[in-house]
């Protein structure tokens, strides 16, 4: 059985968790503290310390660069989910960079404002130190002071998706592709604290988000059987 090693509010972990749920396969979640990556380090034979990773039998599957999608492509290949059709590879690879940088940057800052509510007390020191070493001392208080502006910027970054969703139920097609799960993961991180809602003016995005929380691969597979194209 596939095991997903994660912590629950990580945007990148939410992406893989939702893809696994979508597949309908049984899988196990192993939560680790954000500040203790020793399990990941051991399973990847000292080659990786990020999350998520998945363990499938004897294989540990993990990313090889900032922009690789090794885990999602592995799950997609194993369960034939149609998340990476060749004709969309180019546009998806541009979109996932935008999603994982432009969108994610606002989502994690807004969620981190509530870090004390999310991070268990035993992990708080490592969490704060990790953030301040990366973004500077007092960074989380700065984000709190900028909260309104960050929310407005996020809404603006989400507008292209609202426009895409005016024409179809998912970003690129009648069924979800990888970028749908990718955006869902970043927004899952933004929504994790429970203090935010998606911008109400993005009505299509709100409808898409509700669809994305429930969508199952088997409903598309059945449709294909009933209405084969060839
Ligand atoms: N491109 C990677 C990014 C993963 C990533 O940035 N994970 C964060 C947690 S959300 C992490 O573990 N960063 C390394 C660290 O915290 O030391 C992916 O898609 O999985």
Q: Are residues 171 and 210 in the same domain?
A: yes
66 and 116 both lie in a single domain: no
Residue 226 lies in a domain: no
Tell me the residue range of the domain where 184 lies.
86-221
Residue closest via CA to ligand 1's atom 2 equals 66
Q: How far is the CA of 13 from the centre of ligand 1 (A)?
A: 8
Q: Using a cut of 0.85, tell me whether the model's pTM lies above it.
A: yes
Question: Do residues 137 and 120 both lie within one domain?
Answer: yes
CATH code for the domain in which residue 125 is found: 1.20.1050.10
- Residue 65 and residue 9 share a domain: yes
Q: Tell me, rounded to whole angstroms, the distance of Cα 93 from its chain centroid.
A: 15
pLDDT exceeding 90 applies to what percent of the chain? Answer: 95
Asked if residue 230 belongs to a domain, the reply is no
**Does some domain include residue 72?**
yes
For ligand 1, atom 1, name the residue with the nearest CA. 66
Residue 221: predicted pLDDT: 76
Residue 16 belongs to domain with CATH number: 3.40.30.10
Whether residues 41 and 105 share a domain: the answer is no
- Edge to edge, the sheet with strand 27-31 lists 27-31, 2-6, 53-56, 59-61
Based on the structure, what is the number of domains in the chain? Answer: 2
Same domain, 18 and 100: no
Q: DSSP string of 46-81?
A: SS---S-EEEETTEEE--SSTT--HHHHHHHHHHT-
115 shares a domain with 210: yes
- 138 and 187 share one domain: yes
Which pLDDT value is given to residue 56? Answer: 97
Does residue 10 share a domain with residue 91? no
Residues 90 and 185 in one domain: yes
Gap between the Cα atoms of 77 and 63, Å rounded: 15
Whether 228 maps to a domain, the answer reads no
Last residue of a domain, one of 53, 79, 105: 79
Ranges of residues in the chain whose predicted pLDDT is under 50: 230
Atom of ligand 1 nearest to the CA of 69: 19
Indicate if 74 and 116 belong to the same structural domain: no
Which atom of ligand 1 is least distant from the CA of 52?
20
pLDDT tens digit string along 177-191?
999 999 999 999 999
Pocket test for ligand 1, best of 14, 43, 51 (most atoms within 8 A of CB): 51
Which of 79, 103, 119 lies at the terminal end of a domain, its last residue? 79
Domain boundary among 79, 101, 127: 79
Ligand 1 shell residues, CB under 6 Å = 10-12, 49-52, 63, 66
User: Is the CB of residue 170 less than 8 Å from the CB of residue 208?
Assistant: yes
Cα–ligand 1 centroid distance for 11 (angstroms)? 9
Q: Are 52 and 10 in contact (CB under 8 A)?
A: yes
* pLDDT score, position 33: 94
Express each pLDDT in 8-21 by its tens digit.
Answer: 999 999 999 999 99
**Which residue owns the Cα nearest ligand 1 atom 19?**
12
Per-position DSSP letters for 138-184, written without gaps between them: THHHHHHHTHHHHHHHHHHHHHHHHHHTTTSSSSSSSS--HHHHHHH
Asked whether the bond before 173 is cis by omega within 30 degrees of 0, the reply is no
Co-location of 115 and 209 in the same domain: yes
Report yes or no on 227 lying in a domain. Answer: no
Using CA atoms, how far residue 193 sits from 107, 111, 197, in Å, is 11, 6, 10
189 Cα nearest atom in ligand 1: 10
């Amino acid at each position: 059985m596939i095991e997903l090693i994660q912590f629950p509010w990580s945007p990148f972990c939410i992406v893989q968790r939702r893809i696994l749920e979508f597949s309908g396969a049984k899988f196990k979640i192993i939560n680790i503290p954000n500040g203790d990556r020793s399990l990941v380090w051991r399973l990847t034979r000292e080659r990786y310390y990020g999350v998520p990773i998945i363990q499938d039998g004897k294989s540990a599957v993990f990313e090889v660069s900032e922009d690789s999608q090794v885990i999602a492509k592995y799950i997609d290949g194993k369960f034939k989910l149609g998340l990476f059709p060749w004709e969309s590879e180019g546009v998806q690879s541009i979109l996932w960079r935008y999603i994982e940088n432009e969108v994610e940057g606002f989502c994690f800052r807004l969620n981190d404002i509530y870090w004390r509510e999310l991070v268990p007390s035993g992990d708080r020191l490592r969490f704060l130190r990790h953030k301040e070493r990366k973004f500077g001392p007092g960074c989380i208080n700065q984000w709190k002071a900028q909260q309104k502006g960050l929310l407005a910027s996020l809404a603006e970054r989400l507008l292209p998706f609202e426009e895409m969703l005016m024409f179809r139920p998912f970003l690129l097609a009648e069924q979800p592709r990888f970028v749908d799960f990718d955006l869902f993961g970043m927004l899952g991180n933004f929504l994790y604290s429970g203090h935010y809602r998606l911008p109400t003016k993005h009505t299509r995005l709100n409808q898409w988000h509700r669809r994305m929380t429930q969508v199952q691969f088997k409903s598309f597979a059945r449709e294909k059987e009933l209405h084969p194209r060839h």
